[in-house]
Amino acid sequence: MSLASGTVEYTLGTPQVTGCGVSWTAEEMDTALAGSVAPVLFDHEGTADIAALLESVPGTDFAGVEIARILDNDRPPKDWEVGEAIAEVYLTHHRDSFFPWPDGRDIRKPKSSLPGADLIGFHKNNEKTRFAFGEVKTSKENKSPPQVVRYGDHSLNRQLTDLRDKKPLRDRAVVYLGHRAIRSDWQGTYQNAAKKYIKTKGSGVTIFGVLIRDVPPNIDDLAASGQMLSENCPGKTLIELLAIYLPAGSIDTFSDKVVATSKRGDA
C-alpha cells in the first residue's frame, strides 16, 4: 500500500549527514494510520501466523474464542509506539529500508520496554545493503528543538551519538538480528549487510534519527543535531535526520485512531 512522502519543508546537512523535514496533511496522516501503520503497530502478519499455528494444534477444535483471547492485542498503544510505527513505515516506503522483526515479538511481559535501537534492519544504498539502526522520538512540545532531542541520556542526540561512536552497541544489534535471520526468508539480506559491516570494521551502516511532531515545521528541530553528528563521523557511516510534521493536535488522537482501525480490520 502506498504511503505519502509528504511536502518537503526544509533540507540540511552534507552528503554524509543529511536532514529534512516533511509535512503530512490530515488526510495523508489518516490514510497512513489506517493503511500501513496499524498493521505494523499490531503486527497483524505475525499474529495471523501464530493463530494458524494454534488452530493446527490437535484437539483444539472449536477453541477459536480462547485463541482470540490469547492473541488479543487491542490495548491502546502509547503515543511513542505509534510514532515508531510511523517512522518504520516511512523509512520502508521512502528510504529503501526494511525492518523485519517487530519489537513486540520480544516483549515477555506487558508494559515492558526493550533496550537498544528502536529500529534494527537494513538499508539499500547504491545497490549495496547495509545494516540500518533507527531512533525515534515523538513530541508535541511547542518548542524547537523539543527536549527529547537535546537533553538526557535518552535524548535523540545522545542515542544517535552512541550508535555512531560505540561499536559494541552496533555489534549487539547485529547479533540480535542474526539470531532472528537464521532460516528466515531474509537471511540472504542479512548476510549481504554483514559482509558490508565486516569489510568496513563496523562503520558501514546507516543511522536514522526520526522526530514525529504535531507543531509547525521548523529547521531548528534538526539543525544543531545535524551539525553535531557531522563532526568526527566515520567515513563509511551514513546518518539521516528526518522530522515528520503532522497537523496540530494529531499526537493526542493517535491511540483512538489506530485502535479503531484495528477493530474495523477484525470485523
Average pLDDT rounded to a whole number, residues 241-264: 89
Backbone angles phi, psi at 138, to 5 degrees: -115, 125
pLDDT digits (tens, 9 = 90+) for 122-146: 999 888 999 999 999 999 999 999 9
pLDDT of 92? 97
Alpha helix (H) ranges present in 95-186?
Answer: 147-150, 156-165, 167-181
- Has residue 113 got a pLDDT over 60? no
pLDDT at 2 over 90: no
Reported confidence tier of residue 266, pLDDT bands at 50, 70, 90: very low
Q: Which amino acid is at 8?
A: V
Amino acid letter, 266: D
| Cell numbers at 124, concatenated | 539499500
pLDDT per residue as tens digits for the range 165-218: 999 999 999 999 999 999 999 999 999 999 999 999 999 999 999 999 999 999
Q: Which tops the pLDDT comparison, 2 or 209?
A: 209
Residues in contact with 264: Cβ distance below 8 Å, sequence separation at least 6, in sequence order: none
Q: What is the DSSP letter of 76?
A: P
Q: Exposed (0-12), middle (13-18) or buried (19+): which is 204, by Cβ within 10 Å?
A: buried
Cβ(138)–Cβ(251) below 8 Å = yes
How far apart are the C-alpha atoms of 11 and 129, rounded to whole Å? Answer: 25
CA distance 162 to 140: 25
Least confident window among 6-20, 64-78, 91-105, 170-184: 64-78
112 CB contacts (<8 Å, ≥6 apart)? none
